[in-house]
Amino acid sequence: MTRILAALPILVALMVGGFFLWGLNPDRDPNEIPSVLISQQVPEFDLAPVAGMNIPGLARTDLTGNPGPVVVNVFASWCVPCRAEHAVLTRMVERDGVRLMGINYKDKPEEARAWLDDLGNPYERIGSDLNGRAGIEWGISGVPETFIVSGAGTVLYRYVGPVVGPEAEAEFSTALAEARATKAPRT
Amino acid sequence: MIRKTLFATLILFILPFAVAAVEPDEILDDPVLEARARDISKDLRCVVCQNENIDSSNAGVARDLRLLVRERLIAGDTNQQALDFIQARYGDFVLLKPPFKPSTYALWLAPGVFLLFGIGVSILILSRARTRRPNEALSDSEESAVAELLAQENRSDP
């Protein structure tokens, strides 16, 4: 009994120390919000195209029944990191043959058009989310955010913030490679 | 005079806490629904300025969520249904009061467990301290042992 009592302070110190070790880990982001959407079906949404653009809009039905995974990117012309991310997304589309869909979040159509004219349009479809309601359905907290959706329409992966820089790009392409490997029995 | 100035300053310091981020165009005409919307908003965490509820956050998403809550209430949702609607999209994280379920048992029960543990250890230590108090009188067997020792001592003494 005395031994157990003597070991108590050590036990408590180990518990607290273990907690510190976990909490002080530099790779842990305390602001990270776990997404409820992962391994769920794509949420219900139906967005009209960006006015004045010759690109179709985006709806839930465009994300189900695809032969392979597609990438959904939430962007806006007013979002500065999106400009940096645009180059990365364009490269993914041109080099890796990624199918990219866009949600233009709370953006003025004319500004979105000018932005895409200036930088080029890597998106296959773009839905114009003028009031941000589709953004809420996707559970986004800001722009940019990027999702990987399986061919069958299951959300496999979510990246919050711009996919820019070697670390982020490596993480994203790993997730994409995994999504492609476990594609679907339908193909 | 000084006291009055101090009081006024204090009031000014308190003022920002009383101000909500709700903008005039968001407020519903029905005061009952509006009051319910304010109540719900206070339980929802803003996903941008975390640790602030959407009622007091100026973030764009917080405004959208406030409008959404009001829309759900007008559509006839109960408070719980409106909360569930947003929880389904943003997860448990948006609730400032986490739900009680298997994955949060540790969160809810840990304080109680620690308290019981502390009480248990205290009782143990206190009761042992009491029983360990040195006896003032010697027991019978000790008494006879002492007597024997003393007798031996006397005998070996010349």
Counting every residue written for chain B, the total comes to 158
Q: What pLDDT, on a 0 to 100 scale, did the predictor assign at position A106?
A: 94
C-alpha triplet A160, A164, A38: angle, nearest 5°: 30
B14 and B44 in a single domain? The answer is: yes
Q: Is the pLDDT of residue A185 over 60?
A: no
Instruction: Provide the b/e sequence for A57-88 (b: ≥16 CB within 10 Å).
Output: bbbbebbeebeebbbbbbbbbebeebbebbeb
Rounded CA gap, A101 and A124, in Å? 6
Rounded CA gap, B71 and A185, in Å? 41
Span A33-57, pLDDT tens digits: 778 889 999 999 999 999 999 999 9
Q: What pLDDT, on a 0 to 100 scale, did the predictor assign at position A44?
A: 94
B89 and B150 in a single domain? The answer is: no
Question: In this complex, is the C-beta atom of B95 within 8 Å of any C-beta atom belonging to chain A?
Answer: no
Number of domains composing chain B:
2
Q: What pLDDT, on a 0 to 100 scale, did the predictor assign at position A187?
A: 42
Which are the contacts of A142, defined by CB distance < 8 A and separation ≥ 6? A160, B48, B61
Question: In this complex, is the C-beta atom of A165 within 8 Å of any C-beta atom belonging to chain B?
Answer: no
Residue B44's domain comprises 2-99
Rounded CA gap, A45 and A127, in Å? 10
Indicate the residue of A34, A138, A142 with minimum beta-carbon distance to B48.
A142
Taking the CA of residue A138 and the nearest CA in chain B, the distance in Å comes to 7
Could A135 and B61 be called an inter-chain contact, meaning their C-beta atoms sit closer than 8 Å?
yes
Span A52-103, pLDDT tens digits: 999 999 999 999 999 999 999 999 999 999 999 999 999 999 999 999 999 9
The Cα diameter of chain B in Å comes to 113
Q: Which residues of B touch A36 (CB under 8 A)?
A: 88-91
Return the residue matching tokens 């010349």.
B158
Residue numbers of B between 27 and 56 with CB closer than 8 Å to A = 47-48, 50
B148 and B74 in a single domain? The answer is: no
Taking the CA of residue B80 and the nearest CA in chain A, the distance in Å comes to 18
Supply the CATH number for residue B20's domain. 1.10.8.640
Indicate the residue of B50, B68, B125 with minimum beta-carbon distance to A136.
B68
The tokens describing A169, both together, are: 């790009």
B84 and B43 in a single domain? The answer is: yes
pLDDT band at A186 (very low <50, low <70, confident <90, very high): very low
B20 and B52 in a single domain? The answer is: yes
Which are the contacts of A73, defined by CB distance < 8 A and separation ≥ 6? A85, A89, A100, A101, A102, A103, A123, A144, A145, A146, A147
Average model confidence (pLDDT) for chain A?
Answer: 91
Could A136 and B88 be called an inter-chain contact, meaning their C-beta atoms sit closer than 8 Å?
no
| Residues A100/A63, Cβ–Cβ less than 8 Å | no
Which is more confidently placed, B130 or A1? B130
Q: Which CATH topology does A36-181 take?
A: Glutaredoxin (3.40.30)
Q: What pLDDT, on a 0 to 100 scale, did the predictor assign at position B17?
A: 55
B45 and B93 in a single domain? The answer is: yes
B75 and B151 in a single domain? The answer is: no
Shortest CA distance from B117: residue in chain A: A8
Q: Which residues of B touch A132 (CB under 8 A)?
A: 60-61, 64
| Residues A42/B155, Cβ–Cβ less than 8 Å | no
Q: Could you state, in chain order, the average pLDDT of each consecutive group of 10 residues for chain B (158 residues)?
A: 79 64 86 93 89 89 92 93 92 90 91 93 86 72 89 75
Q: Is the peptide bond before B31 cis (omega within 30 degrees of 0)?
A: no
Shortest CA distance from B65: residue in chain A: A136
Indicate the residue of A8, A36, A140 with minimum beta-carbon distance to B91.
A36
Rounded CA gap, B94 and B47, in Å? 7
Where helices occur in chain B by DSSP H, the ranges are: 2-18, 31-42, 60-74, 79-90, 105-131, 140-156
Question: In this complex, is the C-beta atom of A180 within 8 Å of any C-beta atom belonging to chain B?
Answer: no
Q: What pLDDT, on a 0 to 100 scale, did the predictor assign at position A182?
A: 79
